[in-house]
Structure 1
Amino acid sequence: MYLAEDRILCWELVSKRGGSWVLHYVKSAYAVTDTPDQVPELVSQRRRWLNGSFFAAIHSTVHFHYIYRSSHSFMRKFWIHIELVYQTFNLIFSWFAIGNFFISFFVLCNALEDPNVIGGRAIHIINLILEYAYIGLLLMCFMLSLGNRPQGSKIGYTMAFVGFALFTIYMTFSAFFLAAKGIQQVLKDEDRGLTVSDFFSNSIFRDIVISLAATFGLYVVASIIHLDPWHMITSFIQYLLLAPSYINVLNVYAFANVHDVSWGTKGDNKVSTDLGEVKMTKNKNEVEVAVPTAETDINAAYEDAIHVLSTKPPKEDHTPDAATKQEDYYRSFRTNVLMAWVLSNALLVAIILTATGSAADRGANNTVNGYMIFILYSVVILALVRFIGSTGYMIVRLFAGE
């Protein structure tokens, strides 16, 4: 089920009994690959990557006690424990990513219904349409993922990618519009010039804009430190628009096909079976098919059919073979994982949205300041940990080399 995941091998090396193996990242190393250039190929590839990384994270977390059998120093084991805390939180956060994203979408859109922001029936109807469209698009992804090859559902998956990109644009507009309205409210209430402290006193601006700016700011600073900032210019907008599809479209397909252990790379996503061919004539609407015409052939076929019908068929053994049992196990495992994932995220959404209430009644400040703050600052903390790790690597590399 791990799809030959290299992270499993890495963990087993690090936690080897009596060993103190250390893995090093080599920045100067690079690889050349044939990247997906179509949506179906990306979906197939990411299915393997997402499932592989997910189960590798579970494996290393569940078997973390292996580290105690190794001969690593106390300090190294301490830092590995820090990594365990980060990885466990990141694993849980990834599991609930699809629910958290919908909560963020709902809360930000619903906050516009505050009478002090926009309010009115028009924005409520717009949000209602978008919420139903979001749910419909997500349900379409589930239906496409259960039994359909991405190559056979190219239009559907492309529509999903475009749809979630449009939802992201609306969410971004909502976030910055709320921040602007918050600053306007401060100016109106205080009746004076704007100071730096006002930005932090306004909860919406502080929690939404500053948290997002901190997250993306870390990306910019890290790319500059690594002397590789160009992708922030050439690919950052595309990344933002595709990010929701990684959470929704790709995650849905990955969990719905967790039983699939094929590689999913380009050209390796179908079974090659020679079914023969039917010869076509010059007229494309006609084909040549050989059928018996001689009376002897017809009589022989009739006699064969009578013999088959009059012969009692042998008793069939319905005991499944080992391959069938293995396939049934994989599919049952897929069903259980998918059901647990969907129900747990649905339960989270139901609890949070019920507790949050409506911005039209409670105000935008109260709705945004709830669980939404946990989501935003969790993203900041996870990005900060990665930033500290990458910066620490550059410092070590500067003095110790690769």
Structure 2
Amino acid sequence: MADAVSSRPLTRGDAKTLALASLGGALEFYDFIIYVFFAVVIGRLFFPPDMPEWLEQLQTFGIFAAGYLARPLGGVILAHFGDKTGRKRMFTLSIFMMALPTLIIGILPTYESIGYLAPLLLLVMRVFQGAAIGGEAPGAWVFVSEHVPQNRIGLACGLLTGGLTGGILLGSLMATLINYVYSPTEIHDFAWRIPFIVGGVFGLVAMYLRRWLHETPVFEAMRARKTLVADMPLKQVLSGYRPAVVVSMLVTWMLTAIVVVIILMTPTLMQRLHGLAPLITLYASIAATLGITLSAFTIGALIDRFGLLRVTLAGGPFFVVTAYALFIGTAADTAYLIPLSALAGIGAGLINVVPYTMVKAFPDYVRFTGVSFSYNVAYAIFGGLTPIAVQLLLVADGLGPVHYVAGATVIGIGAIVVYSLRPSLGLAGKVAQSPVR
């Protein structure tokens, strides 16, 4: 475990590991998110033509939601074997479980060809995708953090987080390109399949490239010392590390609120609040996603330099200010939407404190399970509640969405402050590797 606890510089092998992990994460998130950009077309093709539009869209997005519901179960199962048999195997399996269903969606027959079997097969593919994404982010964060020295864990998590949000950016760019190159009729006839086929093929290529990665030094050391968890990892997590689970779920709430509201919901909110054209809000979403992708790298490096607590206490208020600036500034003049979206995206790079907190909160022998369970259960809960809460708050106040994000961010900051006191609280028990700086 020497590599994991030293302060050595990053090596060429570390750089290759981080690059391949980030690339695979980007492609896997692209595969998962691309569905939402073509949901309207998919609804028309995979359901009966005489179905009411509202029911068609409800079922289409219901299939999208099924992917989210499958996340906790898939994440826990992959993490279970990741803690018992090795990180690399599950890390590679998750991208295969994502790439193959994505490719299959791209070539699926529609309702016109096979009737009700079409939406059923689509649902099955989305469930597999959801199970895969449940293991990808936690597995990737654990994998890279156990490969690099302790003084580079922030940067490693930042590169990986940037890769994941970069996948959302790729999805936005692909959707924009398809809508620019092809007419609505061509998209309906065949072009909607292109993003899925491209994503599936590149995902399989990324899976092949991951075969060149090595098992983490931390897991190899546990295997050599025969200290792998003998019981069910989830049982160990729930019985011995409940405070770590609570803190991890609270910071995941912050991450969920930032991503769902600032990145995913803001385009629709801006159209509703200010009557902006969808294309303009899409450009703003791209600017925000690019900002968060680049900022995550910087936040990771700052954590390694100044420590988790200092970066959180500085970055949290900065993000809240940029989020309010986005909504208030756009209300004053819609011409500010794109630059303020980019600024809010930069502030949203704060989300990189979340994986850093989680991988530090659990000891090595149940780390994968602890991170995966906390992250996926919290994301399933808050990912479902956030859009509802935002819509309810919006009825009372045009700034309701940003009030919600600010509240979740304050809660996340509070959880990290508590986490920073871990030595006195015994947050992750005596066997945790290292205290928060």
- Both structures adopt the same fold (TM-score exceeding 0.5): no
Higher relative contact order, structure no. (Cα contacts within 8 Å, ≥ 6 residues apart): 1
- TM-score, with structure 1 as normaliser: 0.29
Structure 1 or 2: larger helix share? 2
